[in-house]
């Protein structure tokens, strides 16, 4: 049986030579799986990356033994396949030729059974190699060392081609400046000290066992697909996570003053660790009032004054207001800039950050000026939800309940477990965000620009025709949060559905009971101010979902069975509003 590692010594100008073959590498059955599994149950390989001298091979051998996995050293495999040392490959054919072969070797090693793989110091600095490692499902772990730790390990080593006849300290500093931003794309970082290999291996194993990979949900758009990442600790890794999808490591951050005080330092550190240049860090006042023309114009001027160009990405750090405002600026500035969503509220994580709807409010109504502008990636760091005020968390949960009513099984989960999410339970919140994003990603992929004549993305507006009207009537002054308006709207939509004979008569009571149980206003009468039927109907007639002057509502036959209707008699809606507490 032969082994083909795909590394052939081919002079750059010569015709391709046959790939060398050798004895097959056999892998013993692992005694235990590695600590992280790919969704579906297949164990992951572990790839160690880092500078020359960081201990990838010595740590890798010990780690492999503990995990019961085969150990592979990429450099040793290359030398065995090529039949000559790496120093000679570099000298005869140059680094680009070596990197190409190295990439093929790594990809093939990771295509088989799980292994612990030690890579050469420059391997992970190659974009195609990083992509191959990511695509394989392996866990990349960076052994990060300082110059004083590395220097004794590399000085005088003739087997390291880049250190031949060079000052090792100067070489290390140069390589660190060039490679560390790419190493920062690794899934896990372990700071290595001047300690025994066994001690470092202990810390590496603990880091692996304590690490939870984020869930990755694809938004499968034909023209601009992207991923939603859901998990904890994503702000600290932001640079490494977003770098692969951006044209340059250059950003401008838009946030609001409250969020910036809490989370901007972590985001900046995560970006700078991956070598990002932050052209500007701009903030707007918290609240819905920032989603209007004057703040939008001020933001546009500030972005342009900061020297942004077509390769500068706009990063929205905040809730739905910041995401909508910054996204609209990204759509308009220089006729379109790359855009990254980093939502920090439950409402934004489960709803507004996914789907590419951006915009600002007008006096006539909510989100009436805007654009579809899809993000390149969404980082939903569920860890930041612990900093949300209780009212904000409850308001965000209204959108989870909406998604539950649209999806069906998620509504059953809401009734059984939703109170845990509102109480701040980390596992419940992650489930709520993940399943909400899964639903929304599927709906957006099927109807990106809300053009489906019936159903489609319009179904995501369940409760919003009523909710937006109530919110607009309150003047976006903070007295009613968006999610609170949606919560009342869900109850009204369920009541309208029952009035039309579409759903079981008990459903409105179930919806309102659950909404009230989690601490949200469930009925119009729960609000401290009054509303008139005339004012609310006027707001609804200006809703962007109106077609040919007819109001359109998202209605329910049952949880998991929604539909759109444009033939609801206005008088029926008026009667419903009066029963709910509106006057006139």
Query: Is 53 marked as binding a ligand?
Result: yes
Q: Is 367 tagged catalytic?
A: no
Q: Is 514 tagged catalytic?
A: no
Query: Is 179 marked as binding a ligand?
Result: yes
Cα 313 from Cα 473, distance rounded (Å):
35
In 3D, which of 358, 274, 270, 351 has the Cα closest to residue 316?
Answer: 358
Reduced to 3 states (helix: H, G, I; strand: E, B; else coil), residue 47 is: strand
Query: Is 357 marked as binding a ligand?
Result: yes
Q: What's the pLDDT score for residue 453?
A: 78
Of 482, 499, 545, 552, the catalytic one is: 482
Q: Is 482 tagged catalytic?
A: yes
| Tokens of residue 539, six digits | 């707001």
Q: What is the secondary structure of 186-223 as a DSSP string?
A: SSEEEE--SS-HHHHHHHHHHHHHH--PPEEEEE--SS
**Other beta carbons less than 10 A from residue 369's beta carbon:** 15
Cα 509 from Cα 491, distance rounded (Å):
8
Query: Is 574 marked as binding a ligand?
Result: no
Q: Is 263 tagged catalytic?
A: no
Q: What's the pLDDT score for residue 37?
A: 64
Q: Is 450 tagged catalytic?
A: yes
State the DSSP H helix or E strand holding residue 567, giving kind and residue range, or none if neither: none
Query: Is 344 marked as binding a ligand?
Result: yes
Q: What's the pLDDT score for residue 127?
A: 95
Q: What's the pLDDT score for residue 157?
A: 65
Q: Is 97 tagged catalytic?
A: no
Q: What's the pLDDT score for residue 9?
A: 33
Our CA angle for 289, 541, 327, nearest 5°, is 40
Of 103, 268, 431, 468, the catalytic one is: 468
**Spatial contact of 333 and 303, defined as CB atoms under 8 Å apart:** yes
Q: Which residues, including other chains, have CB under 8 Å from residue 155's CB and lie 6 or more apart?
A: 163, 168
Of 399, 448, 473, 512, the catalytic one is: 399
Q: What's the pLDDT score for residue 90?
A: 82
Of 430, 457, 499, 545, the catalytic one is: 457
Of 102, 450, 471, 473, the catalytic one is: 450
Query: Is 475 marked as binding a ligand?
Result: no
Cα 179 from Cα 415, distance rounded (Å):
49
Query: Is 99 marked as binding a ligand?
Result: yes
Query: Is 320 marked as binding a ligand?
Result: yes
Half-sphere CA count of 259, side-chain side, radius 13 A: 30
Of 144, 249, 263, 464, the catalytic one is: 464
Of 394, 440, 495, 514, the catalytic one is: 440
| Tokens of residue 264, six digits | 């901007």
Q: What's the pLDDT score for residue 126?
A: 94
**Interstrand relation of 116-118 and 71-73 (parallel, antiparallel or unpaired):** parallel
Q: What's the pLDDT score for residue 91?
A: 82
Cα 228 from Cα 245, distance rounded (Å):
12
| Tokens of residue 35, six digits | 């600590």
Task: Evaluate the CA torsion angle 443, 240, 45, 161 in order and state its sign.
Answer: positive
Domains of the chain: 46-210 (3.40.50.300), 215-388 (3.40.50.1970), 450-580 (1.20.1090.10)
The one-digit pLDDT tens for each residue of the chain (584 residues) are 333 333 333 333 333 333 333 333 333 333 444 456 655 455 789 999 999 999 999 999 999 999 999 999 999 999 998 888 888 888 888 888 889 999 999 999 999 999 999 999 999 999 999 999 999 999 999 999 999 999 998 876 655 667 777 888 999 999 999 999 999 999 999 999 999 999 999 999 999 999 989 999 999 999 999 999 999 999 999 999 999 999 999 999 999 999 999 999 999 999 999 999 999 999 999 988 999 999 999 999 999 999 999 999 999 999 999 999 999 999 999 999 999 999 999 999 999 999 999 999 998 888 889 999 999 999 999 999 999 999 999 999 999 999 999 999 999 999 999 999 999 999 999 999 999 999 999 999 999 998 887 788 999 999 999 999 999 999 888 899 999 999 999 999 999 999 999 999 999 999 999 999 999 999 999 999 999 999 999 999 988 777 777 889 999 999 999 999 999 999 999 999 999 999 98
In 3D, which of 114, 8, 118 has the Cα closest to residue 74?
Answer: 118
Cα 519 from Cα 395, distance rounded (Å):
9
Q: Is 173 tagged catalytic?
A: no
Q: What's the pLDDT score for residue 28?
A: 35
State the DSSP H helix or E strand holding residue 320, giving kind and residue range, or none if neither: helix 320-332
Q: Is 363 tagged catalytic?
A: no
Query: Is 321 marked as binding a ligand?
Result: yes
């Amino acid at each position: 049986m032969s082994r083909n590692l795909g590394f052939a010594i081919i002079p750059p100008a010569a015709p391709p030579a046959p790939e060398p073959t050798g004895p097959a590498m056999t892998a013993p059955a692992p005694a235990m799986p590695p600590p992280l599994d790919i969704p579906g149950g297949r164990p992951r390989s572990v790839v160690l990356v880092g500078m020359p001298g960081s201990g990838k091979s010595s740590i890798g051998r010990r780690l492999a033994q503990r995990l019961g996995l085969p150990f592979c050293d990429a450099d040793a495999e290359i030398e065995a396949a090529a039949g000559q040392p790496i120093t000679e490959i570099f000298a005869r054919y140059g680094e680009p030729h070596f990197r190409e072969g190295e990439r093929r070797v790594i990809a093939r090693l990771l295509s088989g059974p799980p292994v612990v793989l030690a890579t050469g110091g420059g391997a992970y600095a190659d974009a195609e190699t990083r992509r191959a490692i990511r695509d394989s499902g392996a866990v990349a772990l960076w052994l990060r060392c300082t110059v004083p730790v590395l220097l004794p390990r590399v000085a005088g080593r003739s087997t390291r081609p880049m250190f031949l006849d060079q000052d090792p300290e100067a070489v290390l500093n140069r390589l660190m400046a060039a490679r560390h931003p790419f190493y920062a794309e690794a899934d896990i970082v372990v700071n290595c000290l001047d300690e025994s290999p066994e001690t470092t291996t202990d810390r590496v194993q603990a880091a692996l066992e304590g690490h939870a990979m984020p869930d990755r949900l694809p938004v499968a758009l034909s023209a601009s697909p992207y991923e939603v990442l859901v998990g904890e600790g994503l702000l600290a890794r932001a640079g490494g996570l977003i770098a692969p999808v951006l044209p340059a490591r250059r950003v401008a951050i838009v946030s609001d003053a409250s969020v910036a005080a809490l989370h901007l330092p972590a985001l900046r550190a995560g970006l700078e660790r991956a070598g990002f240049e932050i052209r500007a860090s701009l903030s707007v006042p918290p609240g819905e009032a920032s989603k209007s023309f004057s703040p939008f114009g001020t933001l546009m001027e500030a972005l342009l004054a900061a020297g942004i160009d077509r390769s500068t990405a706009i990063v929205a750090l905040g809730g739905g207001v910041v995401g909508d405002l910054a996204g609209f600026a990204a759509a308009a500035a220089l006729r379109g800039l790359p855009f990254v969503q980093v939502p920090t509220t439950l409402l934004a994580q489960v709803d507004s950050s996914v789907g590419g709807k951006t915009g600002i409010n007008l006096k006539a109504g909510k989100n009436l000026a805007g654009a579809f502008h899809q993000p390149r990636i969404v980082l939903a760091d569920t860890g930041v939800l612990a900093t949300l005020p209780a009212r904000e968390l409850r308001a965000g949960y209204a959108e989870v309940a909406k998604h539950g009513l649209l999806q069906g099984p998620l509504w059953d989960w809401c009734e059984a477990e939703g109170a845990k999410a509102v109480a701040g339970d980390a596992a419940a919140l992650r489930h709520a965000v993940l399943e909400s994003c899964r639903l929304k990603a599927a709906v957006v992929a099927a109807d990106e620009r809300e053009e489906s004549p019936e159903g489609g993305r319009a179904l995501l507006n369940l409760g919003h025709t009523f909710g937006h009207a109530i919110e607009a009537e309150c003047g976006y002054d903070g007295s009613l949060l968006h999610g609170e308006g949606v919560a009342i709207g869900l109850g009204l939509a369920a009541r309208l559905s029952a009035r039309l004979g579409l759903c079981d008569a008990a459903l409105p009571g179930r919806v309102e009971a659950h909404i009230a149980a989690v601490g949200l206003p469930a009925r119009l009468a729960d609000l401290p101010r009054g509303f008139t039927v005339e004012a609310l109907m006027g707001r609804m007639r200006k809703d962007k979902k109106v077609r040919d002057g007819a109001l359109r509502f998202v209605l329910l036959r049952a949880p998991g069975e929604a539909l759109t209707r444009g033939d609801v008699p206005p008088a029926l809606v008026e009667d419903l509003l009066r029963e709910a507490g509106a006057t006139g």
